[in-house]
Amino acid sequence: MLKPEERKRAIVIGTGLMGPGIAYTLASAGWDVTLCARSESSLTKGLRSYQAAIDTLLQGGCISEPDAGTAHDKIAGTLDLEAAVSDADLVIESIAEDLDVKRTLFQRIEARCPSDTLLSSNTSGLPVGQLAAVLNKPGRFAVTHFWNPPHLMPLVEVVKGESTSQETVDTLVALLEQAGKKPVVVLKDTPGQLGNRLFHALLREAIWIVQEGIASAEDVDTAVKTSFGRRFPVYGLLEHQDVVGLDTVLAIQSYMCKALCNHTEAGMLLQNTVKSGGLGVKSGHGFYDWSKRDIETTVKQRDAFLIRMLKSETS
């Protein structure tokens, strides 16, 4: 297997929400990246999204004009998957969350790529073992779950399957660190991996609180943004417990855990809202009335904050 410093050609498959940002991450680390799409229109859209990621970072002062030019020169686009993967050092798939579609894709890739190419999926929850089961060499496969938006979020979860070799994990971690990411290793192939398990545990409780009339959706979000959300970037959840004192934490958990939502199905508020056509931004209403809110402003505020965080970490 090639060493991390010897790997320089990456293929990113998928031009939707995540693919272009992943492609930028690799290009910013000096990789030659090919973005693969199924149609000319989707490829054009993906390359525009790639350029938009560069523009966002440039305008935010996170990269220089020369850096932006270099990243622009490092990307190419293609519709020919087989030709693209034929000399790839790394392939990252970021298409629809459909197990059968992804497995079929990886069979196509393995049939044409070199024997030492690292194969990876950006899935946010599909099992590593089931994805790798169709491969002749499952040891070179792992999940690399980037967080959205990938050009602004540092975390990448490297998920190890039962057949994934330690060398594959170590190489992917080294590559991601070279690209400026903060990789964490998920040692067991478990639903939701790491970040999404934590997030959905909190989300389940948040929906329950609104459903039971304990607080409004607005106040739940305000509580998250202005309390533990403020300190999490520099002060981890378990780190805080050690500071508080585990005897105190145990005393609180002895009664708090009994009061928390422990349902194993999605909350009724969520189910009923979806049944009534409330899908969030895409339908105009969900937990919020989006006819009275501007999604573009919301995303711009999110990205501006993430950019400030990136600048503070690199300054």
Digit-coded pLDDT (tens) for 72-83 = 999 999 999 999
Tell which residue, 190, 55, 83, has the closest CA to residue 126: 190
Selected catalytic residue, list 49, 121, 145, 163: 145
Q: Is 145 a catalytic residue?
A: yes
Enclosing H/E stretch for 156: strand 155-159
CB 15 within 8 A of CB 45: yes
- CATH fold label, 196-314: N-(1-d-carboxylethyl)-l-norvaline Dehydrogenase; domain 2 (1.10.1040)
In this prediction, residues 277-294 reach a mean pLDDT of: 95
Cβ atoms of residues 1 and 16 within 8 Å: no
Task: Read off the pLDDT of residues 91-127 as tens digits, 9 standing for 90 and up.
Answer: 999 999 999 999 999 999 999 999 999 999 999 989 9
pLDDT at 3 over 90: no
pLDDT at 7: 64
Q: Which helix (H) or strand (E) holds 202?
A: helix 195-211
Q: Catalytic one among 72, 165, 177, 196?
A: 196
Q: How far is CA 177 from CA 28, 154, 180, 181, 183, in A?
A: 12, 10, 5, 5, 7
What SS3 class is residue 72? helix
Per-residue confidence (pLDDT) for residue 125, from 0 to 100: 86
Query: How is residue 127 written in tokens?
Result: 């099992």
- Read off the pLDDT of residues 50-89 as tens digits, 9 standing for 90 and up: 999 999 999 999 999 999 999 999 999 999 999 999 999 9
Q: Are 158 and 172 in contact (CB under 8 A)?
A: yes
Residues paired with residue 93 on neighbouring β-strands, in sequence order? 13, 121
User: How distant, in Å, are the alpha carbons of 119, 170, 197, 206, 273 from that of 220?
Assistant: 40, 39, 19, 7, 17
In the set 42, 110, 157, 285, the catalytic residue is 157
Edge-first strand listing for the sheet containing 75-78: 75-78, 32-36, 9-13, 90-93, 118-121, 141-146, 155-159, 182-186
Residue 157 appears among annotated catalytic residues = yes
SS3 call for 119? strand
pLDDT attached to residue 1: 60
Kindly report, residue by residue over 123-151, the tens digit of the pLDDT.
998 999 999 999 999 999 999 999 999 99
Q: Where are the domains of the chain?
A: 4-186, 196-314
**Once rounded to an integer, what is the mean pLDDT over residues 4-32?**
90
pLDDT in tens, 233-274: 889 999 999 999 999 999 999 999 999 999 999 999 999 999
How does 38-75 read in b/e, with b if 16+ C-beta sit within 10 Å? eeeebbeebbebbbebbebbbebebbeeeebeebeebb
| Confidence bin at 32 (pLDDT 50/70/90) | very high
Q: Mean per-residue pLDDT for 150-171?
A: 95
- With pLDDT > 90 as the criterion, what percentage of the chain qualifies? 90
Answer CATH for 4-186 from 3.40.50.740, 2.60.40.10, 3.40.50.2020, 3.40.50.720: 3.40.50.720
